[in-house]
Amino acid sequence: MPQRILRPLTESAIFLVLTVDEGGEDGVREVLDGFTGTLRTVRSRIVAADLGCVVGIGARAWSRLFSGPAPKGLRTFPALSGTVHDAPSTPGDLLFHIRAHRMDVCFELAGQLMRQLRPFTTVQDEVHGFRYFDSRDVIGFVDGTENPEGLEAQRFVVLDEDTDPVFVGGSYVTVQKYVHDMEGWERLTVEHQADAIGRHKWDNVEMDDETKPADSHTALTVIEDADGTQLKIVRDNMPFGSAAADEFGTYFIGYSRDLDVTEQMLRNMFLGDPEGTNHDRLLDFSTALTGTHFFVPTVDFLDDIPP
Ligand code: HEM
């Protein structure tokens, strides 16, 4: 059974990225073995909050933690260096993507997981995300509209017999933490902001092909296979930030069955399409601070961790 990747957007999320310390492998395996039980322990206390958590495992940790074969497509995030903007590749062996309708249960689960994992791991990043008005990112645009749903989403996200017979039901996930230059963004007119996204701000209506700029975010992230079929990922971005520190951010998270798809979108954004000339206008106001790929094993894998 796949982990619960596909679900309606929630109001709260915590993104926890850890690395496994040298010698911490057995301890981590034990915590992973008890993971679904830990999730149930917190979830059952307030069922209406609909707490969920997806665990991902990074390429560098896989062979340290498990003796069997690795998922075919698992690799580290490739750093990208465009003519104007860079996407760094940053460490991450474990990802916990915690989601619920309330922050208290997310925080409780994060706390319980950290109590168990602290002796064996180092925290690389912890981000608390919040739903912002009508699912807008902090730069004011509705985010998540074109996400595939239902069976279509499953097809784009969950591995099947053809993609990787050993890891059927698994998935891949990519995270990037972005901070925005809000002063620069707010100096743009609303029309120029819309040009950067390719959708209108207030009503979220998509621009038509004649008016949508080629360097808009949605022009560059719509990609197709050789037959002209659109290739999609499932995103659950969350705003985060600190008013005191003047930090306004978007935590990008994208699930896919094939990391090539996510990487192609990233190449279009950072290197440009055509390469070297047409990067994503959104990046002129958004800086990527992290970038990490993970594999998402099935629930069955977690409940019966291989030796
Ligand atoms: C669409 C925001 C990063 C992939 C969108 C939309 C917004 C948005 C507002 C339009 C509404 C929607 O369909 O969701 C952001 C922000 C980001 C970010 C603020 C970070 C600063 C990324 C990254 C990727 C990506 C890193 C891919 C690796 C997509 C895709 C679409 C989309 C595939 C849908 C395109 C379509 O089918 O029209 N994003 N995004 N986004 N974004 Fe992003």
Average model confidence (pLDDT) across the chain:
97
Residue 153 pLDDT > 80: yes
pLDDT at 201 (0 to 100) = 98
Residue 115 pLDDT > 90: yes
Ligand 1: centre distance to CA 131 (Å): 16
Domain count across the chain: 1
Ligand 1: centre distance to CA 124 (Å): 24
Q: Is 222 in the pocket of ligand 1 (CB under 6 A)?
A: yes
Reduced to 3 states, what is the DSSP secondary structure of residue 49? helix
Q: Is 193 in the pocket of ligand 1 (CB under 6 A)?
A: no
What's the mean pLDDT in 115-142?
98
Q: Is 292 in the pocket of ligand 1 (CB under 6 A)?
A: no
Q: Are 55 and 99 in contact (CB under 8 A)?
A: no
Determine, yes or no, domain membership for 182: yes
What's the mean pLDDT in 91-113?
98
Q: Are 88 and 288 in contact (CB under 8 A)?
A: yes
pLDDT at 245 (0 to 100) = 97
pLDDT at 4 (0 to 100) = 97
Two tokens, residue 216: 């808009």
Using the CB atoms, write b or e for 15-40: b if 16+ within 10 Å. Answer: bbbbbbeeebbebbbebbeebbebbe
At position 26, the amino acid (one-letter code) is D
Mutate which of 80, 204, 215, 218 for ligand 1? The one with the most ligand atoms within 8 Å of its CB, which is 218
Residue of the CA atom closest to atom 34 of ligand 1: 146
- How would you write 151-184 as a 3-class SS string? HHHHHHHCCCCCCCHHHCCCEEEEEEEEEECHHH
What's the CA gap between 112 and 109, in Å, rounded? 5
Mutate which of 235, 247, 271, 290 for ligand 1? The one with the most ligand atoms within 8 Å of its CB, which is 235
Task: Read off the pLDDT band of 126 (50, 70, 90).
Answer: very high
**Phi and psi at residue 46, in whole multiples of 5°?**
-140, 85
Determine, yes or no, domain membership for 4: no
Determine, yes or no, domain membership for 6: no
Ligand 1: centre distance to CA 137 (Å): 10
pLDDT at 306 (0 to 100) = 83
Active site residue ranges? 143
Determine, yes or no, domain membership for 1: no
Determine, yes or no, domain membership for 207: yes
**Complex ipTM tops 0.95:** yes
Task: Read off the pLDDT band of 137 (50, 70, 90).
Answer: very high
Ligand 1: centre distance to CA 265 (Å): 9
What's the mean pLDDT in 62-89?
97
Mutate which of 9, 206, 221 for ligand 1? The one with the most ligand atoms within 8 Å of its CB, which is 221
Ligand 1: centre distance to CA 200 (Å): 14
pLDDT at 155 (0 to 100) = 97
Ligand 1: centre distance to CA 245 (Å): 25
pLDDT at 57 (0 to 100) = 98
Residue 142 alpha carbon, nearest atom of ligand 1: 9
Determine, yes or no, domain membership for 106: yes
Distance of CA 46 to the CA centre of its chain: 26
Residue 53 pLDDT > 90: yes
Q: What digits encode the pLDDT tens for the residues 278-305?
A: 999 999 999 999 999 999 999 999 999 9
Q: Is 255 in the pocket of ligand 1 (CB under 6 A)?
A: no
Structural domain of 127: 12-303
Q: What digits encode the pLDDT tens for the residues 3-45?
A: 999 999 999 999 999 999 999 999 999 999 999 999 999 999 9
Using the CB atoms, write b or e for 286-300: b if 16+ within 10 Å. Answer: bbbebbbbbbbbbbe
Q: What digits encode the pLDDT tens for the residues 207-256?
A: 999 999 999 999 999 999 999 999 999 999 999 999 999 999 999 999 99
Residue 307 pLDDT > 80: no
Determine, yes or no, domain membership for 112: yes
Residue 137 alpha carbon, nearest atom of ligand 1: 19
pLDDT at 114 (0 to 100) = 98
Q: Is 224 in the pocket of ligand 1 (CB under 6 A)?
A: no
Give the residue among 247, 244, 265, 245 at the shortest CA–CA distance from 256.
265
Determine, yes or no, domain membership for 155: yes
